[in-house]
Structure 1
Amino acid sequence: MATTGSAESEDRRKQLLDALEQESVIRLADAADSLGVSAMTIRRDLADLESEGLLRRVRGGAISVLRPRPFEERRSVRSRAKEIIADKALAFVPRFGSIALDSSTTVGIMASKLGPRSGLIVATNSYPTYTTINGTVGVTPILIGGETEESTGAFVGPLAVQTAQSLRYARFFASSSAVVAESGTTEVSLAEAQMKQVFAKVSKEIVLCVDSSKLDQEATAAALELSQITVLITELAPTDGRLDEFRNYVELR
């Protein structure tokens, strides 16, 4: 019987981690209902998983441990939320001029939805995003090359910084590993944080595209202050209470 119980626990924890991989968050009540166990059982599971460094417990559940991930791995996480955000962000893409796109998958999805333009220059330090927009009518893609950030696949480093800051952009579209109203955005990679700072410095406006699982979280490297950001786009309705602390800092979409 003990072996069966252990097997059941392992299976349940695997399901919890699978759900966390897809949604970046576990809600205690929902997980207990879905798995047919008590909330106390889920709490014990989460405590065990946290002790192994596989998640971080928060009030009402748990969230993913923020860590660098390759582009392909990130793309499938909270994909529906990213689609909603990308659709909203498209309204801010001009028909001509110049814009910058970071190496996030959320912004990459927006790039995949770009239709014909009439003379738009798009600079990005993401090779997957560059290949996505290459060939789009009326769009001139520029790949900001440099050293490859091994853990994320983005181009970073001195050469990337030099190239990125040699241009000027009407808007910079960025996501973030985490964002807090008082302290701004943070990243899991210091080199990626530096790239976002450089793009932001030479852009007139910054459009931040983040899903709600990243709100009120902090990663390792400081990137942008909320005062620098023009618009914050999430998958939530702008009136959602989870956005209340951001209202005095940015326009919400």
Structure 2
Amino acid sequence: MSMGSLDGEQRKATLAAVLERDGIIRLSAAAEELGVSTMTVRRDIVDMEIAGIVRRVRGGAMPALGPKPFQERSARSARAKATIAEKALRLVPNSGAVALDASSTVAALGATLGGRNTIIVATNSWEVFQAVRRTGGPRPLLIGGEPEERTDSFVGPIACEAAASMLYARFFASASAIDVDHGSSDVSLSEAQVKRQFASVAGETILCVDATKLGQQDVARSFDWEAVGVLITELDPADHRLDAYRERVEIL
């Protein structure tokens, strides 16, 4: 069966796979891949939005907003996350403590820390804790609290108090969206609160996001640009998609 002869449900399954692979559905590229018109893909995207799978954006669609389990998030944009982790590793100190948030993007960094045997790595994510632990390198420290089942993280007053109980050389955080005017935002107030507590006792906050998050907004504000030291994406720092952010933050 050719791609152009797929029925609606098969096309939408293929589009969902593209979303998982790339983190975004680009209208023209998806139409070419499926061998159908952009109008057909647009109709499929509308159906997927009604089903709560995607949200429409200019030129295509992105994952629907809202908390998602760690495993679902970690499957998306794997190549971009690996590039971001490689860049972020340069900023990890050889001693002291660092903090990592509960994002799958930062988990990719945690999995590369095997050579940093003299640092402490604090996180409010069981999955990130395990990723660091498996490297056999740093000493991982799990920040407890109330389990947020929708994101597989720990949040709430206890998590906030514990997050702020150490001093970190750097805090590596991601976000579900970043906007040139409003900074970074996340899926819930409770997630954003823990991140702000980590940042309050960190020497510098490093924001790690893939390019699909650029120019987007979610529901809970986390950081203004004044609170962010470096923005890391998988893009070349000279990429035109980062032009709007150059006056706001250092880009790596």
Shorter-chain TM range is: over 0.9
Change (3 A) 1:73 1:54: closer
Secondary structure of the equivalent of 2:107?
helix
Q: Which runs of 5 or more structure 2 residues have no equivalent in the other structure?
A: none
Q: Which residue of 2 is the match for residue 182 of structure 1? A: 181
Measure, in 2, the Cα distance between the counterparts of 1:37 and 1:204. Answer: 51
Aligned length: 249
Say if 2:109 is the partner of 1:110: yes
Secondary structure of the equivalent of 1:94?
coil
Secondary structure of the equivalent of 1:134?
helix
Change (3 A) 1:11 1:201: same
Amino acid paired to 1:96: S
Measure, in 2, the Cα distance between the counterparts of 1:65 and 1:197. Answer: 24
Amino acid paired to 2:245: F
Amino acid paired to 1:68: P
Amino acid paired to 1:152: T
Which has the greater radius of gyration? 1
Q: Deviations over 1:177-213 (max 9, x none)?
A: 1110110111112111100111111111011110000
Q: Measure how far apart 1:135 and its partner are.
A: 6.7
Secondary structure of the equivalent of 1:223?
strand
Q: Which residue of 1 is the match for residue 199 of structure 2? A: 200
TM-score after normalising by structure 2: 0.93
Alignment of 1:4-43 (within 5 A): 8-43=7-42
Measure, in 2, the Cα distance between the counterparts of 1:108 and 1:73. Answer: 13
Say if 2:172 is the partner of 1:173: yes
Measure, in 2, the Cα distance between the counterparts of 1:62 and 1:139. Answer: 38
Measure, in 2, the Cα distance between the counterparts of 1:63 and 1:132. Answer: 27
Change (3 A) 1:184 1:62: same
Measure, in 1, the Cα distance between the counterparts of 2:117 and 2:50. Answer: 54
- What do you get for the CA RMSD once the two structures are aligned? 1.8
Q: Which runs of 5 or more structure 1 residues have no equivalent in the other structure?
A: none
Measure, in 1, the Cα distance between the counterparts of 2:33 and 2:194. Answer: 41
Q: Deviations over 1:196-251 (max 9, x none)?
A: 11111111101111000011111111111111101100000000011011100111
Q: Which residue of 2 is the match for residue 156 of structure 1? A: 155
Measure, in 2, the Cα distance between the counterparts of 1:7 and 1:135. Answer: 42
Change (3 A) 1:89 1:49: same
Alignment of 1:36-75 (within 5 A): 36-75=35-74
In the TM superposition, structure 1's runs of 4+ consecutive aligned residues that sit over 6 Å from their partners are none
Q: Percent identity?
A: 50
TM-score after normalising by structure 1: 0.93
Measure, in 2, the Cα distance between the counterparts of 1:74 and 1:119. Answer: 30
Q: Which residue of 2 is the match for residue 240 of structure 1? A: 239
Amino acid paired to 2:139: T
Q: Deviations over 1:8-37 (max 9, x none)?
A: 122112211221233221111111111111
Measure, in 2, the Cα distance between the counterparts of 1:176 and 1:38. Answer: 33
Measure, in 2, the Cα distance between the counterparts of 1:72 and 1:58. Answer: 24
Secondary structure of the equivalent of 1:56?
strand
Q: Which residue of 1 is the match for residue 144 of structure 2? A: 145
Q: Which region of structure 1 is more displaced relative to structure 2, 135-144 or 18-27?
A: 135-144
